[in-house]
Structure 1
Amino acid sequence: MDASERTKYKLAEAVKDLMAETAVDRITVKQIVERCGLTRQTFYRNFKDKYDLVNWYFDKLAIVSFKQMGVSLTLKEGLIKKFEFIKGERHFFTAAFKSEDHNSLLQHDYEFIYRFYTDIIKKKIQKEISPDIRFLLEMYCRGSIYMTVQWVTQGMKRSTGEMADLLIRALPPELAKLLKDL
C-alpha cells in the first residue's frame, strides 16, 4: 500500500471513529483531521468532502465482497459476503446510511450496485441492455438498497443468509434469469 492509500485509510479510520459518536452530517473536516493528526490540505488533496471519504471507504469494502461475484461466487454467496462486511462494519454503515445529504452513501451505493449489475448483464448478453430491463434493474437496485438500509438501521435482526435469500427472491423474473448462473 502506497503513502496516499495509507493516508486515505487513516482519514477513513478517523471518520469511522467519529461516526460512532456523531451523525455523518454533523461531522466536520476539522474534526476528521484533528482525530487523525493530519491537515485540512491533506484531506482535500485526497477527498472533495466528507461524503467523498465515506463513499471511498464504502467502495473499498464493497469491492472486496463483490469482486468475486460472477467469477467464483454465486449471486447468493456474493450477497452474503456483502452483508457480512456490512455487519462487520456495523457502526460505519449504521451512521452512513442515516445521512440524507445528496452525496450520501445511499445514492453512492445505488450507483455502485446499478453499475455492477449492468456490467454483469452486458457481459452475459453481449449487447446493450433494453430499456425495460434497465427499468427493472433500477427498481430492483433501489428496492434492495432500501431494504439493506432498513436491515442495517433496525439492528440487523435477519441473518446474512436470510437477507441474501430475500433479495434474490425479490428479483423480477427477467432479471433473475439474467443473473442466474453468474
Structure 2
Amino acid sequence: MNTKNRLAKSLEKLLQKKNLDDIRVSEIVADSSLSRKTFYRHFKDKYALASWYFIQIYSKSFDRITEDLSWEEALLRYLDIYQGKSIILQNAYKSRDINGLRNYDIAVTKKTYQKYLKSKGADINDDTMKFAIEIACRGGTDMISQWLVNGMKIDKEQLVQLIKQTLPNDILRYID
C-alpha cells in the first residue's frame, strides 16, 4: 500500500470515531506508522488528505458521467459508496472548516458538470448556464450531504429522481 493510501486508511479509521475537525495530524501519522514529515510531503493538511480520499470515491462514481456511465447510474454508484462509508463521510461533512469536504465536493462537482455539459455541446461560458451549474452543484451537494448526515431516510433511487427532477432545465436537457 502506498503512502497516500496508508494515510487515507488511518484517516478513515479515525473518521469512524470523530469529526474531521477534531482529528489531529499527529493521530493520523501515529495510526499509519508514518512520520509528520512524510505526511506533509504528501498533503498540506488533514483537509487536503480528506479531499484526496474523497476524490478516490468520486472518480469511481459521479465523475464517470464524463466517461461511461449515465447521469443516474453515476449518481447511484456515488450514493452506494456513500451508504457503505456513511459514518466516515458523515464525520467528514460535519467539518466547519472552510477547507472542509463540502466546499471541495462543490468544486469537483462543478468541474464534472462543466466537462460533461461541454461534451454534450452546451455553452458552459453562458452566464445562465454558469448559474445553472452553480445551482446544480451546490444544491445537489447539500441535499446529498443532508441525506447522509440525517441518516439516509429516503431510498437512494428516490433521492436520485428528486435531484434529477429539480435540476435546472438548462442542464436537464443535456442529461441522458
Regarding TM over 0.5, the answer is yes
Any conservation in 1 of the 2:65–2:74 contact (CA below 8 Å)?
yes
Instruction: Answer with 70-79 or 135-144: which moved more.
Output: 70-79
Deviates further, 77-86 or 117-126? 117-126
Measure how far apart 1:66 and its partner are: 2.6
Residue 139 of structure 1: CA displacement? 1.3
Equivalent residue, structure 2, for 1:42: 38
Separation (CA, whole Å) in 2 of partners of 1:68 and 1:143: 20
One-letter amino acid of the structure 2 residue matched with residue 68 of structure 1: R
Contact 2:124 2:130 in 1 (8 A): no
Q: Deviations over 1:14-68 (max 9, x none)?
A: 1111111121111110011011111000100110000000000000010001343
The 5 Å alignment of 1:90-105 reads 90-105=86-101
Secondary structure, counterpart of 1:69 in structure 2: helix
Q: Which runs of 5+ in 1 are unaligned?
A: none
Partner Cα separation in structure 2 for residue 148 and residue 22 of structure 1:
20
1:122–1:129 CA contact under 8 A, matched in 2: no
**Does the aligned pair in 1 maintain the 2:110–2:133 contact within 8 Å?**
yes
TM-score, normalized by length of structure 2? 0.95
- Report SS of the residue matched to 2:98: coil
- Give the superposition deviation at 1:127: 4.7
Say how many residue pairs are matched. 176
Which portions of structure 1, spanning 4 or more consecutive aligned residues, are displaced by more than 4 angstroms? Answer: none
User: Which of 91, 112, 125 is equivalent to 1:129?
Assistant: 125
Distance 2:124 2:105 in 1: 23
Q: Structure 1 147/159 Cα, relative in aligned 2: closer, same or farther at 3 Å?
A: same
1:53 partnered with 2:49: yes
- Alignment map for 1:100-115 (pairs within 5 Å): 100-115=96-111
Equivalent residue for 2:73, pick from 58, 73, 77:
77
2:10 to 4, 10, 14: 14
Identity across matched positions, percent: 32
Quote the residue 1:144 is aligned against: 140
Q: Is the 8 A contact 2:21 2:95 kept in 1?
A: yes
Following TM superposition, by how much is the alpha carbon of 1:88 offset from its aligned partner in structure 2, in angstroms?
1.2
Q: 1:117 to 1:95 in 2, by over 3 A?
A: same
Q: TM-score, structure 1 length as denominator? A: 0.92
**1:126 to partner: Cα distance:** 6.4
